[in-house]
Homo-oligomer: A and B are copies of this chain.
Amino acid sequence: MKKGAILVLSGPSGAGKSTIINAASKEIGEYYFSISTTTRPPRVGEVDGKDYYFVTKESFEEDIKAGNFLEYAQVHGNYYGTSLKPVREALGQGKLVIFDIDVQGHRLVRAKMNDITTSAFITPPTLRELEHRLRARSTDDESVILRRIENAKGEIKALGEYDFTIINDNVEEAAKRFVVVAKAARLKQSQEDEEEFIRQWSATN
């Protein structure tokens, strides 16, 4: 069976993940960008089915019970999760599925789909630079910025769990490195299941 591959991206809000993906998108070929499901209310400008799937707490909890999430977590009172169905569909079509999830989510994806997963931690060169970027874009109020900084300090410690670190000190350079990571991730694609391959490999003699 042809199957896709997974590329998990993590890193602090403000690391430039979206910018890097956009800058690299022409060179990385077709991919499916996984859209998270959340119970937090949409912010101004956010579109359901594009930024997130916005659902009620009740609906989210039903899906948890039904085992419909690849990973989920509760953050600051809101649920965030990745629904299995669209991911399975995209993988079945042999696509590269890109996730923008946190350290905790990465661990859960690894636990379930390690053999087809590649991961990269994207970070600004320093915490000071992160703070600068968060303030410059000024979409968040001070308490949110401070919370993001605290989160970042915690998340950076998990950097060693990732296959790659991309330090975003220059978008063009970071995008180039991202292209290599995405191509490497695709190498795990459309390959038979490992155990099956090993079995068939030896069986031909």
A residues sitting closer than 8 Å to B (CB atoms) are 115, 123, 125-129, 131, 149, 153, 156-157, 159-160, 163-167, 177, 180-181, 183-184, 187-188, 191, 194-195, 197-198, 200-205
Task: Tell whether, in the assembled complex, residue A198 and residue B156 are in contact, meaning their CB atoms are under 8 Å apart.
Answer: yes
A177 neighbours in B (Cβ, 8 Å): 187
Q: 6 closest Cβ contacts across the A-B interface?
A: A184-B184, A126-B204, A127-B205, A128-B204, A180-B183, A160-B194
Task: Tell whether, in the assembled complex, residue B188 and residue A164 are in contact, meaning their CB atoms are under 8 Å apart.
Answer: yes
CB distance from A202 to the nearest CB of B (A): 5
A201 neighbours in B (Cβ, 8 Å): 123, 125-127, 156
A184 neighbours in B (Cβ, 8 Å): 164, 180-181, 183-184
A181 neighbours in B (Cβ, 8 Å): 184, 187
CA distance A205 to B145 in the complex (A): 14
CB distance from A18 to the nearest CB of B (A): 20
Taking CB as reference atom, which chain B residue is nearest A157? B198
